[in-house]
Structure 1
Amino acid sequence: MANPSLSTRLNKAQPYALGLFRIVVGLLFTCHGAASLFGVLGGAAGGGTIPAGTWPGWYAAVIELVAGVLVLLGLGTRSAAFVASGSMAYAYFTVHQPEGLFPLQNSGEGSALYCWAFLLLVFTGPGALALDQLFAPRGASRSAQEERQEEATAVTA
């Protein structure tokens, strides 16, 4: 029997790579929220915390903390990622974009990257290693992405 092609092996690892991507992005986003709300990891904007109820910073920090934890754990990933993506789009267009047209000019790379990373998770789902899989109905543990991969493999075979 022939060795599976590199493409086939990479396709089999794709859900795990996506799961690790989700975990890392969720962890980093959670750290931003925790820094702003609790003053840990250097605190908000060079130290300290954001006063409770301050618009929009405190609300953004709550979204970062809650959505980050949900994405990290893989619980309600698509919904949490949608909210997180929207909050980062808002941050980019209200805070960064008025300072310059491009993210490199306006220090908005982080907001832009988080926005697009979370939007990707909205469409791909959580990948492997998500707690959502524990609560899925017994026969529904396979993702639509895994089914598409099998179909593509069957077509190319």
Structure 2
Amino acid sequence: MTSRLDARLNTQSPLALGVFRIVIGLLFLLHGTSKLFGWPGGPSVPLGVWPFWWAGLIEVVVGVLVTLGLFTRWAALLGSGQMAVAFFWQHLPKDFWPINNGGEAAVLFCFGLLLLVFTGPGALAISRR
């Protein structure tokens, strides 16, 4: 019975991966728009302020590319690296544990995007056409 379920689920893996990519991409995009434009929440960062404004710009570009499934592996690698840097620069000095230092989102984005580097975009990607 388990092998039948596995076989059926395996046929849907590309679609599930595509939906995962779209969700991660949209969340990353919103992470960037909140820094650059103050939307959907939070204050916007003044133009050019290092490193936050530049991080927001990377998040918007990577978020759009990952959501669309265009240059997914390269965009995800850039986004994953940026989140690793964000964790080590901004969160780790406060405390080791992400639950205590506010770095949970950075860790989740880092590893979610790193997964896309290795798996590719899945279904529903522009690069698949």
Letter of the 2:59 partner, please give it. E
Question: For 1:122-133, what aligned pairs fall within 5 Å after superposition?
Answer: 122-133=117-128
After superposition, the CA RMSD in angstroms is 1.0
Please give the alpha-carbon distance, in whole angstroms, between the structure 1 residues aligned to 2:128 and 2:12.
Answer: 17
Please give the alpha-carbon distance, in whole angstroms, between the structure 2 residues aligned to 1:131 and 1:5.
Answer: 31
Matched, 1:60 2:59: no
Question: For 1:46-85, what aligned pairs fall within 5 Å after superposition?
Answer: 48-85=43-80
Q: What's the offset of the Cα at 1:52? A: 1.1
Question: For 1:3-152, what aligned pairs fall within 5 Å after superposition?
Answer: 5-43=4-42, 48-134=43-129
Please give the alpha-carbon distance, in whole angstroms, between the structure 2 residues aligned to 1:58 and 1:111.
Answer: 16
Structure 1's unaligned 5+ residue stretches are: 135-157
Deviations 1:74-122 (A, max 9, x none): 0000000000000000000000001001111111000000000000000
Identity value in percent: 54
TM-score (structure 1 length as normaliser): 0.79
Structure 2's unaligned 5+ residue stretches are: none
Letter of the 1:69 partner, please give it. V
Please give the alpha-carbon distance, in whole angstroms, between the structure 1 residues aligned to 2:32 and 2:98.
Answer: 21
TM-score (structure 2 length as normaliser): 0.96
Please give the alpha-carbon distance, in whole angstroms, between the structure 2 residues aligned to 1:6 and 1:49.
Answer: 47
Q: What's the offset of the Cα at 1:26? A: 0.2
> Structure 1 runs of 4+ off > 3 angstroms?
none
SS of the aligned residue for 2:47 comes to coil
Q: What's the offset of the Cα at 1:36? A: 1.1
Letter of the 2:12 partner, please give it. A
